[in-house]
Structure formats: C-alpha cells, structure tokens
Amino acid sequence: MAIEIEHKYLVKNDSFKSLADSAVDIRQGYLNRDPARTVRVRTKGDRGFITVKGSTSGDTRVEYEYPVPYGDAIAMLRLCDGTVIEKRRYLVPYHGKTWEIDEFTGSLQGLVVAEIELESSGESYDIPPFVGREVTGDPRYYNSCLDASILCDSFH
C-alpha cells in the first residue's frame, strides 16, 4: 500500500519562482470525487497518469498512481466531472526537502499552494519564507474540491 503524508500551505509571495529547479504544466480532472476514493486523471507535461486516493486522516492517506498513455489521459479528461484544473507546478528545494508549489490558472487564477511530502507525520522541516498559513486537512484546498465546492460541502 502506498501512503502519502503531505502538509499543505498557502503561498504569500512569488519569491519561490527564483528558487525553483523546474516547472511543469499540469491539467487534471476527477472521474470520481467521493471523499473515500477519489480518482484523478492528470497530464504533466507530455505524460499521463491516473491516481486513486483514499480518504484523508489528518495529513495521511493511501495513494496509488500509475502512468497511462498521454492520449488516453487526454481522452479521460473529457470524461471528468466539473472543470479540468490547470496549474503550473514549481519544484523548489529548501533545506533538504523539495516543495511543490502549484500556481493555478483559469477560474482559480490567484490561488497558489505549497505542498511538502514527508516520511512520517512527526517529521520536522523548515518553512521557506514564501510559505504562509497552513491548510493541511482543510477540504476547501483539496484539488478535488477546488472547482466543485458544492460537491465537497459534505467534507465540512
């Protein structure tokens, strides 16, 4: 079983851009938004992926991600409910960890979120200067809820 332990924060300025090692454009949509088992389709650059995630408990959940042919991912995005999310992901190294910074576009323009994946819930890490308020566990910031808040009201 694959376990994802992740902390999520809002970003307070764009200083992360000058620190980024790389950036990639991502499009993603949801075939299933049930909080117990979300199913996401994503293109990341010229690659495709399908991901199944279990329900979140604190900062932890199960996650299974598999590559799929890019053309299949594009076709599956057309099957998704709600709006397909578009964002640019920046990878920012900071004090031995890599932060993923998602800068959303389209209807979510202006939202910028930082995530860090951890080995354990109690693992300590340094907070970069561009990171603001923590939103770990706040379902309003789950990607599966960003364009479908009415579907995710049951999380609250």
Give the pLDDT confidence of 38-74 residue by residue, as tens digits.
Answer: 999 999 999 999 999 998 888 889 999 999 999 999 9
Looking at residue 152, the DSSP 8-state letter turns out to be H
Mean pLDDT in residue range 134-146 = 88
> What CA–CA distance (Å, rounded) separates 90 from 109?
16
Nearest to 80 by CA among 41, 38, 37: 41
Q: Which residue has the tokens 């364009």?
A: 147
- Provide DSSP, 129-145: TTEEEE-TT-GGGSHHH
CATH of 3-155, one of 3.40.50.300, 2.40.320.10, 3.20.20.70, 1.10.510.10: 2.40.320.10
> What is the residue extent of each domain of the chain?
3-155
Residue 90 near residue 23, CB atoms below 8 Å:
yes
Please tell me the predicted confidence (pLDDT) of residue 108: 87
Please tell me the predicted confidence (pLDDT) of residue 147: 63
Please tell me the predicted confidence (pLDDT) of residue 1: 55
Marked catalytic residue, from 9, 30, 94, 142: 30
State yes or no: is 30 an active-site residue.
yes
